[in-house]
Chain A
Amino acid sequence: MKIGVVTFPGSLDDGDAARAARYAGAEAVRLWHADPELHGVDAVVLPGGFSYGDYLRCGAIARFAPVMETIAREARDGLPVLGICNGFQILCEAHLLPGALTRNQHLHFRNRDQRVRIENATTAWTGDFSAGQEVVIPVKNGEGCFVGSTELLDELEANGQIVARYVGENPNGSMRDIAAIRNEAGNVVGIMPHPEHAVDLLTGPSVDGLGFFTSVLKAITPGRRTTTEEVPA
């Protein structure tokens, strides 16, 4: 199984996401923003960071990267995609997920170990959890405040599209304590906290983050997707 991790100029947690994929038992494949090919990967992670310096608006430039055109097309065909932090912002800018992420309500960057409740364990990335399970995953962002219209928020609730919520103090002011959402099909998930930083007790507060990466390995069937090119060995 191959999990692709995209590197945009300014991506920072790409190495961590690749490591987490390896810890989960996958082969991590580095994807380059300027290369539209996905090199036969079975799932894609858009990692955290400050793609293109977050100029203009977080994720606003990254959505136009050549690799994103392919990812957007394949995601609509069912390719599992996980956007973490800046990746979540990119997915919203690319309209693969609804809503938007704005400046934290308190206007500070905040990094802390955050308690999060998994609300939906049926997505490609959360199958190894159970609904209602609480996990601890680091949150670290300056613009992680999820906003949407009341209609959108009600719709997300009704469709089970809220994947995770903050428990305890809301670290950024997100509406309805939203930490993660999914698309209607459930293959695309955006999450503000960083599961890739919670895969080893030596370097993280828990190993709870590993579940996102092991989940997707079970959700994908190798060779199910038809790729547009021959996969290099």
Chain B
Amino acid sequence: MTSVEIDFDTVEQARRTPDEEQPFAELGLQPDEYERIRQILGRRPTQSELAMYSIMWSEHCSYKSSKIHLRQFGEKKPVSERVLAGIGENAGVIAISDDIAVTFKVESHNHPSYVEPYQGAATGVGGIVRDILAMGARPVAVMDPLRFGAADHPDTARVLPGVVAGVGGYGNCLGLPNIGGEVVFDPCYQGNPLVNALCVGVLPVDRLQRKEADGPGNIVVLMGAKTGRDGIGGVSVLASATFDEGSEQRRPSVQVGDPFMEKLLIESCLELYAADLIVGVQDLGGAGLTCALTETSASAGTGMKVQLETVPLREPSMSPHEVLASESQERMLLIVEPSRLNAVLGIAQLWGVLATPIGVVTAPEPGEKAGRLTITWHGETVVDVPPGSLVDDGPVYARPLKEPNDLPLLQADRAETLPKPADGDGLRALLLRMIASPNLCDKSWVTEQYDRYVLGNTVLAQPEDAGLIRIDENSGLGVAISLDGNARYARLDPYAGAQLALAEAYRNVAVTGANPVAVTNCLNFGSPEDPAVMWQFAEAVRGLADGCLELGIPVTGGNVSFYNQTGAAAIHPTPVVGVLGVHDDVAQRVPMGFSYAGDAVFLLGSTRTELSGSEWAWVEHNHLGGTPPQVDLPGERRLGEALGEAADRGLVRSAHDLSDGGLAQALVESSLRRGFGVDVELPAEWSTGTLPFVYLFSESTGRALVTVPPGHEMAFTALCEERQLPVTKLGTVAAEGAALSVQGQFSVSLDELREAWTGTLPRLFGSTISTNVVQED
């Protein structure tokens, strides 16, 4: 064949034209990285190979800036016999009984969601669900921590409704309950919202799937949607670069989701696993086929011969490099023994899903350690690479770190010195303003757009402290998950900020009565090329790794999202931490709301004057400065153990974690949850001057608000004292529909509280779209 007839680049052409200029910089590769590719191949890469290296060596896929820091999660890992698969797999797998395991992970889909909110968020859910599916698990629930710019900014009115509808549209249609998450507003996310998505799945321990493309002669099968031009360059163009004014033009880099196809894909995969029909499986997410082909072969040390033109295309004019880079959704790669191919194709057909053999696994050449990945396009070789060079031999950077210049001044500017209300009327008015503020107000406008009931195993969902899912209907075994992060704390001290996120998630799981066992994380930061951002990242990772070691729960997986900035302004460092806990019997779960008049109300933990970085400082004074609340991980552990034992012994009726907004917010949320008032008497030492304010709004950690049925008070306080856990009786639960009263200070009816708390989001976002006008004729 002559070059005239071929309009795509081949290995033969690359050998013939070694000096042809290649657009490596446009694809996000550095000159030295390009040089290394030439060294590895002993020639210039073909267009397809260049595309593959550029995406596999992108920040998003290679973790080149974060790798040297993330090692700490392994080095400082606490001993746990529960972990069946950890970091490096698609998701961590944790045994929760002798024969049942769960797998969970959180990922980011930040940049696509800014460019195209609905599809960006929807495919964020779809992507994490396939990660869970690839481990052999049935996905059983999702959660979404979301962060937006200022609540009243016009662009937030564009981004938020689309993101929420996208999360709901995809998850609801997949039939996965959405059991929790976060909705946070801060101007630092104005040009860069954070859309993180978590999925949890369940599998029998002996059904754990592998991604290795073992067994030369085995068939490589692509199952699911056809491949189109959507999402080309998603990881390299979108996820690994800073935003600028041309961002709208990157819309073609966003993928388009089809949750119906994903639902069929889930059911087909689960049937394949149950019948033990496949050798290996890998989801197609960021970096599409490129990632799936190279990771499955590199991890097995095998090679592959792939006939790329057999890939079913949505758009027949696609070039080979586009097919390799496409991030079209709802696809999985299977490794199948030839004798089982027909059975596999039959199951796919039953569910109406395309499944196509596209290649074969090959052995290494004699004398070679690993195989080669060769890809042909209508008979011409377009790729011939060692797959490990894309997966394992990517660049690793020890980027420069430097504490942000403004940090000492920022930390010196403490919120504890700001003016504070000193009388009951002032406190009453403040409470109503605080609970109506965007970060503390009711989030029903968002969460009502998610199905929380489907599958019939949701025991607790938002606004409860943690989502709790029943796993085994007979034994009552279940898992609780919470995701938390406080970026203001992390801005003031990233080491402490990461630990505070961990502590909050740990506490949120513990208050439901569950035993925390594993951690996932999504680390959202600015550009790693900025030494100040890189310092924040390094500190946050160090803090999280140290914290997990101290609490004795390992990190089993996670995700790093860099380049979250528009222009020079990076977002606050935002480590979002997820903790998973095991509940032996979900019937013993502890909900957050007051539910019986006359129950005693206790505050567990110690209150200190800690207002820096607080919601109060931000809402009332637009202030961010000082140092965040003190981290007390041994205290968190004692609190968790006490609550777990109290739940097991049936000593507590409700428990609610204290976090943003402090005790005041916890009292309001616990009252409004089921409509019971509360009578509170502040401890004498906190009853004068501005101390009542501090007691109500300080954000000291390691605290929980607990109600105890009459007759159990002695046993409960004894249990706390045995563990040296400070316990303070605050008052009693009042009648249904009564008021929240703080003796000597103020009283607010539940109706007034509810009106203030629930009005904010509907007012901001309720009228951003027109309506379906339905009138009788």
- Residues of A that sit less than 8 Å from B by CB: 9-10, 12-13, 15-16, 19, 48-50, 52-55, 102-112, 138, 140, 142, 145, 147, 149-150, 153, 173, 175, 194, 196-197, 200, 202-204
Contact = CB atoms under 8 A, between A and B. Distances in A.
B167 to A, nearest CB: 10
Given A50-B260, A111-B448, A112-B448, A106 B771 contact: yes
Given A52-B260, A107-B771, 15 more contacts: A9-B264, A12-B263, A15-B455, A50-B173, A50-B260, A53-B173, A108-B449, A109-B168, A111-B448, A111-B453, A145-B772, A145-B774, A173-B771, A202-B470, A203-B456
Given A108-B449, A110-B449, A111-B451, A10 B769 contact: no
Contacts of B450: 109, 111
Contacts of A50: 172-173, 259-260, 263
Interface string B449-473: 1111111111100000000001000
A98 to B, nearest CB: 15
A12 B448 contact: no
B453 A9 contact: no
A102 B774 CA distance: 9
Contact of B172 (A109, A149, A175): A109
B258 interface: yes
Contact of B260 (A10, A19, A102): A10
Nearest to A150: B776
A175 B776 contact: yes
A153 B448 contact: no
B736 to A, nearest CB: 16
B381 to A, nearest CB: 39
Interface in B173-202: 173-175
Nearest to A32: B350
A213 B517 CA distance: 39
B746 interface: no
B165 interface: yes
A106 B768 CA distance: 10
B455 A16 contact: yes
A138 B455 CA distance: 13
B459 A49 contact: no
Nearest to A176: B776
A49 B176 CA distance: 11
Contact of A104 (B168, B458, B459, B772): B772
A10 B263 contact: yes
B351 interface: yes
Interface string B696-710: 000000000000000
B217 interface: no
Nearest to A104: B772
A145 B773 CA distance: 10
Interface in B413-457: 444, 447-457
From B165, B258, B451, B771, name the one whose CB has the most chain A CB atoms within 10 angstroms.
B451
Nearest to A49: B175
Given A9-B352, A12-B175, A197-B456, A140 B260 contact: no
A115 B777 CA distance: 27
A150 B89 CA distance: 59
A109 B161 CA distance: 12
Contacts of B447: 111
Contacts of A13: 175, 454
Contacts of B449: 108-111
Contacts of B453: 16, 111, 138, 140, 194, 197, 203-204
Contacts of A204: 453
B11 interface: no
Contacts of A12: 173-175, 263, 454
Given A9-B352, A52-B260, A149-B777, A107 B451 contact: no
A107 B352 contact: no
Contacts of A104: 772
A59 to B, nearest CB: 14
Contacts of B165: 108-109
A16 to B, nearest CB: 4
Most buried by B among A110, A111, A173: A111
A200 B476 CA distance: 13
Contacts of A53: 173, 258-261
Interface string B147-187: 00000000000000000010011001111000000000000
23 contacts: A9-B260, A9-B264, A9-B351, A9-B352, A10-B173, A10-B263, A12-B263, A16-B453, A16-B455, A16-B456, A48-B454, A53-B258, A55-B260, A105-B771, A106-B772, A107-B769, A108-B448, A111-B448, A111-B452, A112-B444, A149-B777, A197-B453, A202-B470
Contacts of A112: 444, 448
The 9 closest A-B pairs by CB, nearest first: A53-B260, A12-B175, A197-B453, A16-B456, A103-B772, A50-B173, A109-B449, A105-B772, A140-B451
B448 A202 contact: no
Nearest to A200: B456
B772 A102 contact: yes
Contacts of A55: 260
Nearest to A108: B449
Contact of B458 (A105, A196, A203): A203
Contacts of A203: 453, 456-459, 470
Contacts of A54: 173, 260
B348 to A, nearest CB: 13
B41 interface: no
Contacts of B68: none
Interface in B344-369: 351-352
A107 B772 contact: yes
A15 B456 contact: yes
A196 B456 contact: yes
Contacts of A108: 165, 448-449
A173 B772 CA distance: 9
B586 interface: yes
A100 to B, nearest CB: 11
B776 A153 contact: yes
A93 B260 CA distance: 20
A37 B596 CA distance: 51
A31 B259 CA distance: 23
Contacts of B313: none
Contacts of B777: 149-150
Interface string B238-280: 0000000000000000000011110110000000000000000
Contacts of B444: 112
Nearest to B767: A106
B619 interface: no
A13 B771 CA distance: 28
B587 interface: yes
Chain A CB within 10 Å, residue with most, of B447, B450, B454, B456: B456
A208 to B, nearest CB: 14
A146 to B, nearest CB: 9
A139 to B, nearest CB: 10
A160 to B, nearest CB: 20
B586 to A, nearest CB: 7
A202 B455 contact: no
A105 B351 contact: no
A97 B174 CA distance: 27
A200 B772 CA distance: 34
Listed residue (B261, B447, B777) with the most chain A CB atoms within 10 angstroms of its CB: B777
Contacts of A200: 456
A173 B775 CA distance: 9
Contacts of B452: 111
Nearest to B478: A202
Residue among B351, B450, B458, B774 with most chain A CB within 10 A: B774
Nearest to B161: A108
Given A16-B454, A16-B455, A173 B774 contact: yes
Contacts of B771: 105-107, 173
Interface in B727-777: 766, 769-774, 776-777
